[in-house]
């Protein structure tokens, strides 16, 4: 498909999770960016009851029949029932190309405990943690509290399947821990308790398809967007890392208010880390992306203390307004917002076409 071809794109936004409003903001920004890139955009809003609506009417879909005759779908959805593989599975059954990670990678990365176990199996340095299931908490509270105590204080208590800092508490006193865990269970049956890491918070964006050859040498083992950002949309190959950015915030920690209040945080570019740590962040961002089986895009979050780099989380569909961290990371690496949403759609189509070719070869073998 020519890089100049106008596309028919369905933007999915809203969803059933607590991040419904954040998703609507992301979706509106994606819609405007795609229109500015010259594409036809169809808006599908997923209501909080799970209903899909297009032009004010319920949308009925049929497996194998595509979605509104679109070339590609951009699911600007955050949290459960949107970013966790459920909607990706629906899009797979409809046989439509879609932006971002597939079913398995979406599910793994949405589960903070499972993602950390995967990174641990791959030998990736990460923040220390304890995963707590509600059933075990009810049966073995004393033992769980002892395991969590080994992390020291303070700790962060999080629902395992939510993003945007929803439901997170910072606990500085041992007597507050049980209450924080109980509060997190109101959001999720699986809770993660993380040790407080030293150093600065650094985030790095990844863009591309891991099974495509990288476009030549560069920094971060040939896996940096630097030097290739100005290439045509269709020329972007491999999974490539943005320049790392440092999260600077006024409060005690990077909570929901810091993320979504005007002036609550600043993305400092370049991050105030050593050159070696910068290279390691970019390398680990791509490695985590590939270990998890991601495609298209991701934002990987780190703590950096001197030369030590710890992976914290990977977000397969980060906030997507032009002022969101992922978009800012890409802009600082030479990819403007309009070009970014265009590239992501074309990468999705490329992946879908490869999958179709493999299916044909399998059937004829």
* Residue among 164, 134, 133 nearest 17 (CA): 164
The answer as to whether 358 is a domain residue is no
Name the phi and psi angles at 59, rounded to 5: -105, 120
Extended strands (E) in the chain: 8-14, 40-46, 52-54, 57-58, 72-75, 97-98, 129-133, 155-159, 169-171, 190-195, 200-208, 239-241, 245-249, 265-268, 296-305, 308-315
Residue 187 and residue 215 in one domain: no
Look up the CATH number of the domain holding residue 85: 3.40.50.20
Q: Where are the alpha helices (DSSP H) in 37-124?
A: 86-94, 103-110, 112-121
The answer as to whether 205 is a domain residue is yes
Residue 84 and residue 12 in one domain: yes
* Residue among 51, 53, 64 nearest 91 (CA): 64
The answer as to whether 135 is a domain residue is yes
What the block records as the tokens of 313 is 């989380």
What the block records as the tokens of 222 is 């040939």
Residue 95 and residue 181 in one domain: no
Tell me how many domains the chain contains: 3
Residue 138 parent element (H or E): helix 134-139
**How many Å apart are CA 247 and CA 301, to the nearest integer?**
10
Domain boundary among 156, 171, 195: 195
The answer as to whether 112 is a domain residue is no
What's the pLDDT score for residue 357? Answer: 77
What's the pLDDT score for residue 362? Answer: 57
Instruction: Give CA 153 to chain center in angstroms.
Output: 28
Look up the CATH number of the domain holding residue 239: 3.30.470.20
Residue 42 and residue 175 in one domain: no
What's the pLDDT score for residue 332? Answer: 95
**How many Å apart are CA 300 and CA 137, to the nearest integer?**
30
**How many Å apart are CA 321 and CA 338, to the nearest integer?**
11
The answer as to whether 133 is a domain residue is yes
**How many Å apart are CA 195 and CA 214, to the nearest integer?**
36
What's the pLDDT score for residue 361? Answer: 60
Residue 234 and residue 308 in one domain: yes
The answer as to whether 111 is a domain residue is no
- Residue 38 has a CB neighbour count (10 Å cut-off) of 12
Say how many CA atoms lie within 13 Å of 193 toward its Cβ: 29
Q: What angle do CA 176, 182, 185 make, to 5 degrees?
A: 140
Q: Which domain holds residue 95?
A: 8-99
Q: Which residues of the chain have pLDDT under 70?
A: 1-4, 163-166, 212-223, 227-237, 250-264, 360-365
């Amino acid at each position: 498909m020519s890089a100049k071809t106008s596309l028919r794109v369905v933007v999915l936004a809203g969803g059933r999770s607590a991040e419904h409003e954040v998703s609507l903001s992301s979706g509106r920004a994606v819609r405007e960016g795609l229109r500015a890139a010259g594409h036809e955009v169809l808006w599908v809003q997923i209501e909080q009851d799970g209903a899909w609506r297009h032009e004010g009417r319920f949308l009925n879909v049929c497996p194998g029949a595509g979605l509104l005759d679109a070339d590609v779908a951009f699911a600007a959805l955050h949290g459960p029932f949107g970013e966790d593989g459920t909607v990706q599975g629906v899009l797979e059954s409809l046989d439509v190309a879609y932006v971002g990670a597939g079913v398995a990678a979406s599910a793994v990365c949405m589960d903070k405990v499972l993602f950390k176990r995967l990174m641990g199996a791959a030998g990736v340095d990460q923040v220390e943690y304890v995963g707590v299931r509600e059933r075990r908490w009810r049966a073995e509270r004393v033992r769980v509290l002892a395991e969590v105590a080994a992390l020291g204080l303070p700790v962060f208590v999080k629902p395992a399947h939510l993003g945007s800092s929803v439901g997170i508490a910072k606990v500085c006193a041992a007597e507050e821990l049980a209450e924080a865990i109980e509060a997190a269970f109101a959001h999720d049956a699986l809770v993660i308790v993380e040790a407080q890491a030293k150093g600065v918070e650094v985030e790095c964006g990844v863009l591309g398809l891991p099974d495509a050859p990288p476009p030549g040498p560069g920094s971060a083992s040939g896996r940096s967007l630097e030097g290739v950002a100005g290439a045509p949309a269709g020329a972007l190959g491999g999974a490539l890392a943005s320049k790392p950015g440092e999260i600077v915030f006024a409060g005690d920690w990077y909570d929901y208010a810091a993320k979504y209040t005007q002036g609550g945080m600043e993305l400092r570019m370049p991050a105030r880390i050593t050159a070696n740590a910068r290279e390691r962040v970019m390398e680990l961002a791509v490695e985590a992306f590939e270990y998890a089986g991601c495609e298209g895009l991701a934002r990987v979050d780190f703590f950096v203390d001197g030369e030590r780099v710890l992976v914290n989380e990977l977000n397969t569909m980060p906030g997507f307004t032009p002022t969101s961290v992922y978009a800012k990371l890409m802009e600082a690496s030479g990819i403007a917002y309009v070009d970014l949403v265009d590239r992501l759609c074309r990468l999705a189509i490329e992946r879908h076409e490869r999958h179709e070719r493999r299916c044909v070869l399998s059937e004829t073998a």
